[in-house]
Structure 1
Amino acid sequence: MPAMSRPLISRRAEPLTGRAKVPGDKSISHRALMFGALAVGESRIEGLLEGDDVLRTAQAMRALGAEVEKLEDGSWRLWGRGVGGLMEPADLLDLGNSGTGARLMMGLVATHPFTTFFTGDASLRSRPMKRVSEPLSRMGAKFVTREGGRLPAAVVGTTNPVPITYELPVASAQVKSAILLAGLNTPGETTVIEREATRDHTELMLRHFGANVTTTIREDGARVVTVTGFPELTGRTVIVPADPSSAAFPLVAALVVPGSTVTLVGIGMNPLRTGLFQTLREMGADIRTDNPRIEGGEEVADLVVTSSALRGVDVPAERAPSMIDEYPILAVAASFAAGTTRMFGLSELRVKESDRFTATMNGLRACGVEVEAEGDTLIVHGKGAPPPGGATIAVNLDHRIAMSFLVMGMAAAQPVAVDDAEAVDTSFPGFVELMNGLGSAIEGN
């Protein structure tokens, strides 16, 4: 039977107040499970995001032979198999909605001598995988996919992997990570060159587990990331910081709901993930950083956010890799700002969980916001006042579209509804409860 939809409606909120801890970082949670499965001995993970995407990765690592269990104290324990020790799964791996899980895991299995079958939900099956299969094929793996390189797919791992040097044609931390993970079980050095810096959680965590990963900067500014094959990864403890992409929703809500002050605790502040915070500050947002610290090799801080009058800005294309998941909620913030906000270089938004570029633009228009597109530039004309709202948004299984427009409803002139918020649990389980705990008014529609 098809899953039941979960419509929600968001009405104007009283001032948002209080402290909140958003779920653990999704990118780091995926990697902690995968690297723990490749390590020798026991690993512990604290603060793991227990959303559907990450739980699918946990199940996939079990299918590949690792021991993965949740302990009574809420932490997770893994007993890994060592680099090159994964087992052929007895059934296909269903990654649900998770592009990160699917693409990174393709890299993991590409240099193991067995065949792995991948599938996912309708959204994931529509997303392109050629950007991963092309470099992994150069390393010796074979791929059988649907037309356009889409799932379901079979990855036939190679028995004789070949190290490569690969320059990313498009900035993508997922593709970079897939190649580096394939390089772990490959002799010699595997190198990825990126002209635009993307999130570096893979490099940081591989070093944490004991891999030899180097990052250098070429004369032209490109980053050269190299992993040496056949390391002995050793079980480690990973403390997962709160996800800055999830923090974006209560943060923007606090900015646009008048009279709000909200503290968000333990947010990951990796410089390659904080483009949204930088952009909002340029727009006039009052965001204060408290208690900066290092946890598990990652920068972490508390953010104190106070409602602010925002103004339109230009967001340069080179900032996109550091905030690619946050453009829908930034566009919502821009709809409250005074003046025009131009977001350049958003081609990657067209191949996320949905065509987020079009979904964002259509949702804003439905809510009475003046918005236009010029190529891969999204242009929002804010009036310095709450937008009309009053629409029901079709989210097409996209959790970030759903949460973005629920935030809009908290301060728009009329309520905003979404037709199905079921996908929100993939990245932010407990979103409605957390937001209503701060003072929002989200309820079943």
Structure 2
Amino acid sequence: MSDARSIIARVRDGGKPSVEELRWFAMGLASGAVTDAQAGAFAMAVLLKGLSEEGRVALTRGMRDSGKVLEWDLPGPVVDKHSTGGIGDCTSLLLAPALAVCGAYVPMISGRGLGHTGGTLDKLEAIPGFRTGLTEAALRKQMAEVKCAIVAASSDLAPADRRLYAIRDVSATVESIDLITASILSKKLAAGLEALVLDVKCGSGAFMKTAEQAEALARSLVKTAQGAGCMTSALITDMSQPLATAAGNALEVIEVMETLTGTSVNAALWDVTVALGGEVLALAGLASDASDGEGRIAQALESGAAAECFGRMVVAQGGPADFVERWPDRLPSAPVMMEVPSLHDGFVARIDGEALGLAVVHLGGGRLREGDRVNPSVGLSDLAGIGEETGEGVPLAMVHAVTEDAGRAAVAAVQAAYGIVPDLPDEPALIQKRIG
């Protein structure tokens, strides 16, 4: 018979709990058999001593199995993508419908903004009427009819993770790669996936600031997901600057719609979306290799088929029937707009992505505390990128705010986030490494 104290002691002393013990602990998190104090002690022991590869798989599977695990009977593979979070990262909104057009089924379980990073659900909720909380019956109906959905996790999906996540937040154990891995994958694998691609962000706007940290997380995620029976690969992608030229919920939806409808294509956003889509189509057997998959995703976007599928997803989840045709009229806009003038002549060499994300949060576009209301209209647009030439007084970005005071504070924050140098700097590679 397992008990929490002996499992915690074994991890604390650098030992290896058995698969059965880690499964018991995960179930105990969900049932309440493990107390908050024990959960906190376990998290700290894992942070300090780590788990073996087998232990990570066992904890992930146990957390996955602590609630409902979806099973599908669909005429194509069930796939998904997960990003570790960044600024201006709205690839999910492009990728889900593009994958659906290519023959995959995409029950994308997404999250809300966390810290300085934006959340996919918050972005979609900028669309009037869009619902992210679907019943299982509604999700199954939408998967059969539309082939993609972007939704919040239901309360019966990986409940052990919900409990441990809250405890990690207040016990200074968020940074554990073992616990990050189990948290991300327990929710994703509970969706009944056959293939998963991971976008592990690296740079100033990411949680993993260095290449070494990003690669360690990517390898942990890939090995653990594969160990749990899901075909998985990861791309390490640049987050030393925002991926889109906008940061903020409605503003990022605008950039997505411009790309989907071909009115103004953001090359970086396009390239990352196509690369991730190519990976998952190859993993799922819908393409001969990643290059073939990339071509299929690009065609889905270029032809307008992905835009049409996105429109059907919006309607199915409560949004306007004419959204794809009339999105400029359907999205909210902020009452105050201010330019952010550069303080120097030269070239953009450095961008503090985390500072930009926090500027959006302080404008009201994210949460300072759990439960805060998000204003979908605020944020930053027309963000200058690394390597761009500027001059004193030339705009680096546009601030969208509710009040003049909030706008001025954001202008100062954005100016401080930009490093300008006299000489043209090297631009970082967008896709840095493949793990898989």
Give the shorter-chain TM-score range.
Answer: under 0.3
Query: Could you tell me the TM-score, scaled by structure 2's length?
Result: 0.26
Query: Could you tell me the TM-score, scaled by structure 1's length?
Result: 0.25
Greater fraction strand: 1
